[in-house]
């Protein structure tokens, strides 16, 4: 199987990031924040500050200030992962569907062995008995029983995925819009609530065609009847409508599509998602080339929409022309599993352990730092989540009786990027000196 990923295959889930908490009664009554550490030439050390805006603050917290400290360590956990499989139910997909059925348990086992809290959501026609379509029936132990039903970490949402409409059906069924609800030919039961708010999302599409767009309504514009083209007055479907469709009328018919997954409708639900697919692409550089089956026939299209989404999100792709090759499928499952691990996000909600020795916590004397090797970056406190901005920062779950320190998105991203690049990092939460504010 021709397999392609923009991420080196030998990368694995980042090592543990430790939260070090320092407690103590402050002996430094000077309210002025300490100056940033400087190098021998007096220049500021900004080695882990390269992505932050060039702003003037009063200085960073000095972890070597005269505040007496004791330390405690707590593991910073990794957010859960939700993996959404979307499988085309055309009869031409029978060999690929059989490979999905036989390989998905090993795929889930690979994710489980990494220690991630995972779940799999399957969007495809459920079951074995369909006269003119080919359904999907995942066996135990991922499924709950031998009759294709849900398991503890598996949910099957039955929807008849059409070869040229996967993106439309994702948007429609996710949004439960007209034409895409349960009981309608292209619809399903609601599944948005299956997705966890704090999870990293991975989408995997398996098909031998292209998800149509207004520019490419058919496999070829030559001989494409006008009845299959987009209607004027509705929002256009483009290769990236999965992300940014405004919501509204489906330009191909009278149904309604929900908004794209990266629009305001879904907030941060799909933030940092990756799109992966096995489809009909045939050349790494030319998106117009289709692969060839062993009998020298070809899929209907090279899947232009999927190439655009894989490229945008740094996903993994493989060629549907190898759909009968079990070894090739093993490689694809392995590559997607690796990508799931590599893109799993830190859960930047830090539980505060009890201060040692019965010491009391003063919420107004807390400072938070990211430390990589010998370099420290101070995260300054903001009032609440709404006050988070490009400078990042942190805030309490409750200012009066805090139990957690929550990192703003920009600071969480910086911590994760620093950890992946350096291989080791920690968050220091220092107690005892006056809190530095943005």
Are residues 217 and 116 part of one domain? yes
User: For the residues 270-284, what does the mean pLDDT come to?
Assistant: 96
pTM beyond 0.75, yes or no: yes
Q: Does residue 368 fall inside a structural domain?
A: yes
User: For the residues 329-335, what does the mean pLDDT come to?
Assistant: 92
Residue 186 structural domain? 81-343
pLDDT band of residue 115 (cuts 50, 70, 90) is confident
Are residues 363 and 310 part of one domain? no
Are residues 99 and 70 part of one domain? no
User: For the residues 222-228, what does the mean pLDDT come to?
Assistant: 66
3-state secondary structure of 418: helix
pLDDT of residue 5: 63
The residue from 293, 311, 343 where one domain ends is 343
The residue from 324, 343, 362 where one domain ends is 343
Q: Does residue 1 fall inside a structural domain?
A: no
* Residue 115: CATH number of its domain: 3.40.50
Instruction: Give 35-44 contacts, CB < 8 A, sequence gap 24+.
Output: 35/59, 35/60, 35/62, 36/60, 37/62, 37/376
- Please give the tally of structural domains in the chain: 2
Are residues 154 and 266 part of one domain? yes
What per-residue string of b and e applies to 312-321 under the rule 16 or more CB within 10 Å gives b? ebebbbbbbb
Are residues 119 and 265 part of one domain? yes
Are residues 292 and 356 part of one domain? no
d(Cα 399, Cα 404) in Å, to the nearest integer?
10
The residue from 343, 364, 380 where one domain ends is 343
Are residues 335 and 225 part of one domain? yes
User: For the residues 358-362, what does the mean pLDDT come to?
Assistant: 74
Are residues 202 and 71 part of one domain? no
Q: Does residue 437 fall inside a structural domain?
A: no
pLDDT of residue 44: 36
Return the percentage of the chain with pLDDT > 90, whole number.
57
Are residues 298 and 209 part of one domain? yes
């Amino acid at each position: 199987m021709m397999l392609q990923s923009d991420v080196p295959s030998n990368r694995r889930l980042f090592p543990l990031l430790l939260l070090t908490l320092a407690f103590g009664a402050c002996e430094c009554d000077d309210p002025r924040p300490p100056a940033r550490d400087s190098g021998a030439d007096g220049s500021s050390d900004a080695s882990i500050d390269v992505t932050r805006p060039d702003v003037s603050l009063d200085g960073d917290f000095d972890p070597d200030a005269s505040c007496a400290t004791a330390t405690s360590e707590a593991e910073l956990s990794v957010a859960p992962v939700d993996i959404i499989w979307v499988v085309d139910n055309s009869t031409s997909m029978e060999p690929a569907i059989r490979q999905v059925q036989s390989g998905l348990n090993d795929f889930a086992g690979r994710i489980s062995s990494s220690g991630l809290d995972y779940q799999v959501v399957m969007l495809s026609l459920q079951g074995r008995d369909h006269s003119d379509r080919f359904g999907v029936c995942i066996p135990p132990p991922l499924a709950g029983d031998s009759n294709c039903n849900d398991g503890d970490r598996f949910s099957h949402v039955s929807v008849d995925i059409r070869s040229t409409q996967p993106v439309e059906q994702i948007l429609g069924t996710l949004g439960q819009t007209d034409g895409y609800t349960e009981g309608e030919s292209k619809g399903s039961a609601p599944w948005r609530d299956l997705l966890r708010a704090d999870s990293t999302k991975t989408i995997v599409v398996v098909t031998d065609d292209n998800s149509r767009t207004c520019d490419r309504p058919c496999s070829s514009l030559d001989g494409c009847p006008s009845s299959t083209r987009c209607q004027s007055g509705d929002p256009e479907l483009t290769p990236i409508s999965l992300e940014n469709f405004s919501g509204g009328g489906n330009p191909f018919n009278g149904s309604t599509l929900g908004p794209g997954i990266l629009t305001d409708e879904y907030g941060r639900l799909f933030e940092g998602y990756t799109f992966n697919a096995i489809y009909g692409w045939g050349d790494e550089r030319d998106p117009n080339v289709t692969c060839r089956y062993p009998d020298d026939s070809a899929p209907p299209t090279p899947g232009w929409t999927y190439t655009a989404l894989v490229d945008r999100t740094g996903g993994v792709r493989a060629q549907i022309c190898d759909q009968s090759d079990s070894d090739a499928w093993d490689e694809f499952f392995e590559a997607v599993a690796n990508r799931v691990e590599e893109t799993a996000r830190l859960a930047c909600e830090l539980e505060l352990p009890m201060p040692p020795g019965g010491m009391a916590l003063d919420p107004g004397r807390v400072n938070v730092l990211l430390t990589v090797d010998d370099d420290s970056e101070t995260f300054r406190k903001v009032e609440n989540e709404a006050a988070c901005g490009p400078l990042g920062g942190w805030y309490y779950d409750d200012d009066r009786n805090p139990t957690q320190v929550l990192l703003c998105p920009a600071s969480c991203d910086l911590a994760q990027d620093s950890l992946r690049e350096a291989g080791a990092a920690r968050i220091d939460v220092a107690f005892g000196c006056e809190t530095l504010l943005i």
